Structure 1
């Protein structure tokens, strides 16, 4: 029978307990090797709560925005609820001593100024919050790496908490700012409304002052004309008095010129009558003028007082504008540089400041002009009173002159009746002429003073008109600036008040980015991730140990051919390899709960891997003997470093990376990853084909060796063996 040698090999194993027991033990080597490793490291992070870590809280706390901040205590409370590690909360001296005594794998110290540094964000030199992480790497290096990752998580959590605190405070300040801007907007609106009234009033004042200036010029011109007339009248009265004096020197000349005198006296009488009528008219009108002047004077005084009060209010407005500017500067300084809101507010503040300054200056000028106007009106009133006095005297003198002139006319008519009557009337006429001259002189003096007062009044009203014009311009600018300020402040208040912050808002600012970990294929734990590597390693070690307990060269009988010799050996080894692979795979599936994408394909690929490693070990040990085992160990070492079962291939030294493609474990690990985790069965089959190619190559090499050895050792007895 063709399988007779194989049966002899199998029977020899069953009959020889020294051979059977080691082979049975070797069958379980892959699962002992891979299973124990995977079981031990299946999910180490599930036991982190047993890892002792010391926590030292030295934080003294701090005050922030009228609130007590104790971030160290908050962190301790959070860690007490955490199950990440076996946290032990101890004092500093004890913690460092126990860390050196290897009672803790790591230590986390919260410094004394931890909370205090959290409050320095808005200071000129903000201080970072430092957590002191002290690992004991000599105790266990990986625990230090795991601890470092945990500290980073703690850091991120604390950073989020601190940022939430700052965000909450910032939004509170924004709310206060919105209220302040709203109040400022209401105040600016009131200023705008007041400025509008002030603008209208100043425009009206300017118009009335312009009218007053025009009328004062007309009044000054009229007073000048009256003054000229009074001067002429004074000259006439003097001439009349001189003429009467000459008449008194000689009656003879008067008699001679009686005809002329009669004619002149008639004209004089008519002129005196007209003069009297004019003086009476002036006398009647002058009280009205004096009353009007007194009213103007009183109005000027009232205007001066109002302007002084207005100047005070303007200065208050300037001071209020400065206060408003000071308060708004604080708000503007918190706005980001280059923002349009900050530029607009600064422009409006500049306009408001310039307008208030111009208003204060104009108010000062207007107040000074009002005071001067009041003074000039007093002088004018005084001159008018003197004028009234002179007019009264002039009226009395004019009345007497009229009587005298009438008597003179009558005397001229009665001249012929008697010189005594003429002399008497002439004396009366001379006395009236003297009084007329005195009254005319008084009238001329009063009109002179009135001319001076009216000129000063005209100048004052002109200055007052100019000042009112400037005030009107300043008020217009204030109105425009305050209206724009009110609008901008209202917009700013609306924008600021539209910010509605909540805990979600604070959390969004503290942690604006979250990572959605969308995995293409999910590996649930370390055991699943390392299963391809340790299963491949276990199957290779199992094949290697099998070469020690099972004779790979010596046949159980005389082989009939090289193929028979090869087939008997390879059949036993392949069978044991299949059993090894199935036992290891089933225990991983049923014992450790390994989840795979396809159980049948997982079992099949495990068998292919085991057969490939059996073929490799058989070739090297059969052909080379013990040196072959050494070569297999070298291959195992190379495979451990280049198969990418732990770290990615790109992370190992460049000199080792090219070796990976020439070793079978590279493809067994890749194929097992595909069938266990990714489910990429096409990729699995690609690696399976490569493994089968390796197996075919080593099988062919072993077959050639047995064929050659058969010719040397068993050619003569080939016909007798089977």
Structure 2
């Protein structure tokens, strides 16, 4: 008996009646019911979210900005209603929306608060910047996974709004950069002008130092001059006092002179007339002495009488005084007797002639003398007046000279202070020159740095600003390169559920089909034929299960594998491996083996990595992923369905062949073990 005959015998037994045939058909559809229906139900859940009712509350009051009115809440509402991802229901208040979520009217609620736009607009002012909030109300009692979906929605709304507002804020920021750039350029120009001015100031400071040095030297010279002035003013004051005293004396003397000249003028008023009389008398004396000389010669007596008469007439005329006349007569009396007397008379006659001539001259000059004395008298009077004025002026001069001396002293003190100040100013000018030099160098450096800084600050044009604003608002662009793309949620779960459905479907075969034929065990057939004959019916039905499942998913649900034939082939290999393992375990362990298969199913459910990556499971379960076949099958199907690395498929195929060999080995052990029948074989403790 061959293994195929044993397999056909088991299949004929299973299809010997109508019900067995229906049972085989039902078992063939188990993977289809488990895998295809589940995938159908979850093929595109995100595409059917428009049936989920969600409350939308928009309380945003908007905000006024420098660029106009900002009403982000209304924009979000329009975008959500236009997108239509959910069945949005506009609700008047947040409280009503929350009540609706609680009683199940709405699956969740999205509330845009009144300060939403205002907070978004505040980002342009760092001092008052506030975050805008979106309020989401969910209820896991309605649906747990919906919270995750809503999180993605709100994240999308957040990113969109943040990018939009961030772009506007960045545009304002870049506009500010342009403003700062321009202001820095103007500041650089101003700093350059400052540097030029500082250079001029430096030159002026040098001139100031020189000028203040000259001023200091001049101030010292001025001090010396002021000292001389003060000394001279003191001397002037003393001299003015002396002048005033002398002027007083001069005034007194001039007054006395004027008085004396007045008297002299009065006394000499008759001088011309008297001088004329003297001349006349002198001529008469001369004439008389001449006659006297003649008479003396004739008669001395007559002569003496003539002299006496002549002298008398001269006294009467006022030419001689009485004393002069007496002296003259006495002298004449002594000389009349001899020649000596004659000689005296001759001398007297000559003297009288001379007196007459002098008297004539005096008479001629007397008017001029009188006029001169009168003029001198007038001059003396004026001198007296001028001397009085001089005395008054000298007194004033003395007073003024005293004031001048005091002022000169004050001027000297001030000049000394000026000199000290000039010295200080000269020293300060030196410091000023140093400071202005530093200012010149610093302002030049400031101009250079401002120019360099202005060059470092962006000055974008409108196009550059728009591009930079978009980059700043959303600096990260995620360019996803899908090396292997599933295409839909259902397609992403397909490898896992196809594999799981095949394990469950074959496990159900073990409930209706005998893993090993007792008839074959009672025969003389070798163990490998018995093991192979027990496995082939499982293989045949599992291949039908796999083909039906793949066909429905492929053509009914629209799964579009990159490698469709290879994917079908790998699923058939998985059926071969699973059927060998399950048949071998159940054949070896009997009813306990079915429990073992169920335990293996549970272990593979959590370790195959069908939904989350298998690396996220607890470490103790990593061994289950590494040892059990479902994880390998899921990996292989993903590569074939989505267009991944085919080298991994080869490894998976080798692994499935290995699992098939392990299953056949277990079946061989079961065939050898069950050839020996015991009481437990005839009456098992547990029969499932």
Displacement of 1:675: 3.5
Distance 1:495 1:435, change over 3 A: farther
Q: Distance in 1 between matches of 2:550 and 2:470?
A: 48
SS in 2 for 1:660: helix
Distance 1:216 1:564, change over 3 A: closer
Q: Distance in 2 between matches of 1:472 and 1:84?
A: 81
Deviates more, 1:536-545 or 1:73-82: 73-82
Q: Which residue does the alignment assign to 1:107?
A: 109
Deviates more, 1:224-233 or 1:683-692: 224-233
SS in 2 for 1:517: coil
Q: Which residue does the alignment assign to 1:162?
A: 165
Q: Distance in 2 between matches of 1:190 and 1:672?
A: 77
Q: Which residue does the alignment assign to 1:81?
A: 82
Q: Distance in 2 between matches of 1:685 and 1:629?
A: 30
Deviates more, 1:640-649 or 1:212-221: 212-221
Please, what is the CA RMSD of the aligned residues? 4.7
Q: Distance in 2 between matches of 1:245 and 1:697?
A: 167
Displacement of 1:108: 0.6
Displacement of 1:641: 1.7
Q: Which residue does the alignment assign to 2:302?
A: none
SS in 2 for 1:108: strand
Deviates more, 1:594-603 or 1:554-563: 554-563
Displacement of 1:134: 0.7
Q: Which residue does the alignment assign to 2:502?
A: 539
- Where structure 1 has 5 or more consecutive residues not aligned to the other structure, the ranges are 251-416, 714-722
Cα deviation 1:242-282 (Å, max 9, x = unaligned):
699899999xxxxxxxxxxxxxxxxxxxxxxxxxxxxxxxx
Deviates more, 1:195-204 or 1:447-456: 195-204
Q: Is the 8 A contact 2:238 2:398 kept in 1?
A: no
Q: Is the 8 A contact 1:597 1:675 kept in 2?
A: yes
Find out whether 1:507 has 2:507 as its counterpart: no
Q: Is the 8 A contact 1:105 1:139 kept in 2?
A: yes
Displacement of 1:507: 2.8
Question: 2:625 pairs with 660, 667, 678, which one?
Answer: 660
Q: Distance in 2 between matches of 1:247 and 1:139?
A: 143
Displacement of 1:8: 3.9
Cα deviation 1:36-69 (Å, max 9, x = unaligned):
2223223322333333221111222334448433
Q: Which residue does the alignment assign to 1:529?
A: 492
Find out whether 1:29 has 2:35 as its counterpart: no
Q: Is the 8 A contact 1:55 1:109 kept in 2?
A: yes
Q: Is the 8 A contact 1:209 1:464 kept in 2?
A: no
Deviates more, 1:180-189 or 1:583-592: 180-189
Displacement of 1:75: 1.7
SS in 2 for 1:28: helix
Q: Which residue does the alignment assign to 1:52?
A: 53
Q: Distance in 2 between matches of 1:637 and 1:709?
A: 28
Displacement of 1:646: 1.9
Q: Which residue does the alignment assign to 1:670?
A: 635
Q: Which residue does the alignment assign to 2:459?
A: 498
Cα deviation 1:111-156 (Å, max 9, x = unaligned):
2233344455557675432221111321211112111221122223
Cα deviation 1:206-241 (Å, max 9, x = unaligned):
689668756754663564465466467654785698
Q: Distance in 2 between matches of 1:195 and 1:6?
A: 111
Q: Is the 8 A contact 1:206 1:472 kept in 2?
A: no
Q: Which residue does the alignment assign to 2:667?
A: 702
SS in 1 for 2:137: strand
Q: Distance in 1 between matches of 2:475 and 2:90?
A: 32
Question: 2:657 pairs with 663, 681, 692, which one?
Answer: 692
Q: Is the 8 A contact 2:251 2:388 kept in 1?
A: no
Deviates more, 1:656-665 or 1:55-64: 656-665
Find out whether 1:552 has 2:553 as its counterpart: no
SS in 2 for 1:570: helix
Cα deviation 1:342-391 (Å, max 9, x = unaligned):
xxxxxxxxxxxxxxxxxxxxxxxxxxxxxxxxxxxxxxxxxxxxxxxxxx
Q: Which residue does the alignment assign to 2:334?
A: none
TM-score, length-scaled by structure 1: 0.63
Q: Distance in 2 between matches of 1:211 and 1:162?
A: 73
Q: How does 1:456-471 map to 2 (within 5 A)?
A: 456=410, 459=414
Find out whether 1:569 has 2:534 as its counterpart: yes
Q: Distance in 2 between matches of 1:638 and 1:243?
A: 152
Cα deviation 1:486-525 (Å, max 9, x = unaligned):
9487777776683557333333332233334345544333
Q: Which residue does the alignment assign to 1:142?
A: 145
Question: 1:603 pairs with 547, 551, 568, which one?
Answer: 568
Q: Which residue does the alignment assign to 1:95?
A: 97
Distance 1:10 1:187, change over 3 A: closer
Q: Is the 8 A contact 1:164 1:507 kept in 2?
A: yes
Find out whether 1:41 has 2:42 as its counterpart: yes
Q: Distance in 1 between matches of 2:466 and 2:53?
A: 35
Q: Is the 8 A contact 1:35 1:584 kept in 2?
A: yes
Q: Which residue does the alignment assign to 2:443?
A: 484
Distance 1:602 1:193, change over 3 A: closer
Q: Which residue does the alignment assign to 2:69?
A: 68
TM-score, length-scaled by structure 2: 0.65
Q: How does 1:172-183 map to 2 (within 5 A)?
A: 172-173=175-176
SS in 2 for 1:91: coil
Distance 1:14 1:492, change over 3 A: closer
